[in-house]
């Protein structure tokens, strides 16, 4: 059997500066399109102020994640990055904390996630168009 790959892009333009969007269903649909039965799907945010993570789909936890990130990388006009004319230094730091990509295993044609695991796109400097790459690799 030959290894095959497929690529797709998901586009986002959030109404809020920070947002957390569940994308598990879109990735499962992409897996079905790819025809891959065993392998992996890479899910990677292609912007330096956005991330991707896997966790529980529970509103309280999502709020806790946002609060935690804001405590560790608060909006702050004193970031050195802002000397460039940008005002999103905190968004870059939040992306480092959350991570920019995940690798999801594919087993028997399904996303092989734990019982509560869901895949999320995390936006930290929204209100403009951004994308996530999906790259399936397998047999």
Q: Specify the pLDDT at position 77.
A: 86
Q: Specify the pLDDT at position 110.
A: 98
Q: Of 92, 109, 4, 101, which Cα lies nearest the Cα of 48?
A: 92
What are the C-alpha distances in Å from 115 to residues 13, 66, 76, 111, 118?
Answer: 29, 23, 38, 11, 9
pLDDT over 90, % of the chain:
98
CATH topology for 20-76+87-98+117-139?
Jelly Rolls (2.60.120)
Domains in the chain: boundaries: 20-76+87-98+117-139
pTM above 0.75, yes or no: yes
Q: Specify the pLDDT at position 131.
A: 98
**What pLDDT, in 10s, does the model give residues 75-115?**
998 999 999 999 999 999 999 999 999 999 999 999 999 99
Per-residue pLDDT, averaged over 122-138, amounts to 97
Query: What is the rounded average pLDDT for all residues in the chain?
Result: 97
- Per the document, the length of the chain is 139
pLDDT-based confidence at 17, cuts 50/70/90? very high
pLDDT-based confidence at 56, cuts 50/70/90? very high
What are the C-alpha distances in Å from 130 to residues 48, 50, 59, 107, 112?
Answer: 10, 8, 23, 29, 27
The dihedral through the CA atoms of 105, 8, 134, 64 has a sign that is negative
């Amino acid at each position: 059997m030959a290894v095959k790959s497929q690529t797709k892009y998901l586009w986002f333009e959030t109404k809020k500066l920070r947002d957390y969007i569940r994308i598990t269903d879109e990735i499962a649909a992409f897996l079905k399109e790819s025809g891959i039965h065993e392998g992996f799907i890479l899910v990677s945010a292609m912007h330096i102020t956005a991330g991707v993570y896997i966790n529980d789909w529970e509103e309280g936890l999502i709020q806790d994640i946002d609060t935690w990130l804001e405590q560790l990388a608060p909006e702050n006009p004193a970031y050195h990055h802002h000397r460039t004319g940008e005002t999103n230094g905190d968004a870059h730091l939040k992306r480092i904390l959350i991570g920019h990509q995940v690798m999801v295993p594919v087993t028997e044609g399904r996303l092989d996630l734990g019982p509560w695991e869901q895949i999320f796109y995390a936006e930290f400097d929204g209100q403009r168009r951004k994308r996530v790459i999906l790259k399936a690799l397998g047999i």
